[in-house]
């Protein structure tokens, strides 16, 4: 080996080429996956130039999950790619068992790559239920996961449920690029929030694209308060209570909610309406919003979202709706749904996941992946 001397006369080793550095940095990376999205795992491994690790996940006749890892994982960094699908419970058990199998096999670190985190919508207390996302986070931490990579959580506060680092990646750069390159005359568009809860995300898109904003108010949906379960029963009245408490100081009566009619705040007449959200599952609300946008003069209607779960008969409803195009990423497999509805388009985000894995493994900063990302995303 030839040694080079600098101006001060000290010896320094020769610079390694890029390929040598890449081979050294990825030699102890092992990527395994469950049955939720093997295509995404293969694409990520191919982009990183490494072989997908040998892991077999199958179910016995009694539906118990069996995990067999063929390659040694001792002292290596394991990345488990497992997303949430319509079979969420099996996806979770496969992930937990794979993580625990790597933990008991002396893996150095175990990173869960979960593009769509199941049960992320159950992150608030509802009626007499529980916060399921908190339970899921504790189960993942107990199974042996040391890091989580996910994408566009339903609420970013879910990261606080985990006792391990969580990197919440953003798909907005891919969706913004699609709008600029694939929607003709996108300058004549308006970003639409189908309910006030999505207004922050829609406003972020509108500011980056320098477009107008419209919000649909008065969404017709059943709320928890609409269900009669005894929570709002009045307190019992007695003579003793009447002697000690006046009517003005007593427990006030709950005012009944009156839902306003569905209205649009903003002008969509003669313009392209682009609805944005983080998840498309039950599409009835999207179809109702699209029909209203059409009635108000919108010439074309697009729906953009990160996760396309598209459960039940969602493809049929979308195909019969006035929506012209539905754009989702491949965080969730939806090839069958695309065969049922030709309006569904897919954006590949495997390059973002591969870059996140590379940066975490090489202990590089993740700030580049969050550049120009605001808190509203």
CB contact set of 210 (below 8 Å; sequence gap of 6+)? none
Question: Residue 85 CB: number of other CB atoms within 10 A?
Answer: 18
Contact 95, 116 (CB under 8 A): no
The confidence score (pLDDT) of residue 128 equals 83
The confidence score (pLDDT) of residue 22 equals 47
The confidence score (pLDDT) of residue 248 equals 57
Ranges of each domain in the chain: 27-168, 171-219+261-346
Residue 35: half-sphere exposure toward Cβ, Cα within 13 Å: 18
Task: Tell me the β-bridge partners of 113.
Answer: 81, 149
The confidence score (pLDDT) of residue 375 equals 45
| CATH class of the region 27-168 | alpha beta
Separation CA 59–CA 295 (nearest Å) = 50
Closest by CA to 148, choosing from 178, 118, 173, is 118
The confidence score (pLDDT) of residue 231 equals 57
The confidence score (pLDDT) of residue 23 equals 43
The confidence score (pLDDT) of residue 377 equals 53
Separation CA 302–CA 276 (nearest Å) = 9
Q: Give pLDDT < 50 ranges for the chain.
A: 1-24, 222-226, 240, 375
User: Is there a shared CATH topology between the 27-168 domain and the 171-219+261-346 domain?
Assistant: yes
CB contact set of 174 (below 8 Å; sequence gap of 6+)? 329, 347, 349, 352
Contact 314, 320 (CB under 8 A): no
Contact 40, 81 (CB under 8 A): yes
Q: What is the pLDDT of residues 10-43, one digit of tens each?
A: 444 444 444 444 443 567 899 999 999 999 999 9
Residue with tokens 């003069």: 297
Q: What is the pLDDT of residues 223-272, one digit of tens each?
A: 444 455 555 556 665 554 555 555 555 677 777 777 778 889 999 999 99
On whether the 171-219+261-346 domain is CATH 3.40.50.2020, my answer is yes
Total number of residues shown for the chain? 377
CB contact set of 159 (below 8 Å; sequence gap of 6+)? 153, 166, 168
What's the pTM? Answer: 0.84
């Amino acid at each position: 080996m030839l040694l080079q001397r600098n101006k001060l006369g000290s010896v320094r080793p020769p610079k390694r080429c890029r390929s040598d550095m890449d081979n050294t940095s990825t030699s102890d990376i092992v990527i395994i996956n469950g049955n939720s999205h093997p295509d995404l795992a293969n694409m990520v491994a191919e982009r990183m130039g490494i072989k997908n690790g040998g892991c077999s996940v199958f179910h016995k006749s009694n539906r118990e999950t069996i995990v067999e890892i063929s390659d040694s994982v001792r002292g290596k960094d394991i990345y488990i790619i497992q997303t949430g699908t319509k079979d969420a419970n099996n996806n979770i058990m496969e992930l937990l068992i794979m993580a625990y199998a790597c933990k008991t096999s002396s893996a150095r670190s175990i990173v869960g790559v979960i593009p769509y985190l199941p049960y992320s919508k159950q992150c608030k207390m509802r009626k007499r239920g529980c916060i399921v996302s908190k339970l899921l986070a504790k189960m993942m931490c107990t199974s042996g996961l040391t890091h989580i990579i996910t994408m566009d959580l339903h609420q970013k506060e879910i990261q606080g449920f985990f006792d391990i680092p969580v990197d919440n990646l953003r798909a907005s750069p891919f969706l913004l690029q699609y709008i600029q390159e694939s929607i003709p005359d996108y300058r004549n568009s308006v970003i639409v929030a189908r309910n006030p809860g999505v207004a922050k995300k829609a406003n972020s898109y509108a500011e980056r694209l320098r477009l107008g904003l419209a919000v649909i108010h008065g969404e017709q949906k059943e709320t928890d308060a609409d269900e009669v379960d005894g929570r709002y029963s009045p307190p019992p009245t007695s003579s003793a209570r009447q002697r000690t408490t006046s009517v003005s100081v007593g427990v006030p009566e709950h005012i009944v909610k009156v839902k306003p009619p569905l209205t649009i705040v903003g002008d969509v007449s003669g313009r392209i309406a682009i609805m944005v959200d983080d998840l498309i599952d039950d599409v009835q609300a999207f179809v109702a919003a699209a029909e209203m946008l059409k009635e108000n003069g919108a010439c074309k209607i697009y729906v953009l979202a990160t996760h396309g779960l598209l459960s039940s008969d969602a493809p049929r409803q979308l195909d019969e709706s006035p929506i012209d195009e539905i754009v989702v990423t491949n965080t969730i497999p939806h090839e069958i749904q695309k065969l049922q509805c030709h309006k569904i388009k897919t954006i590949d985000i495997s390059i973002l996941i591969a870059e996140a894995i590379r940066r975490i493994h090489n202990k590089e900063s993740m700030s580049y992946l969050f550049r120009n990302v605001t808190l509203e995303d």
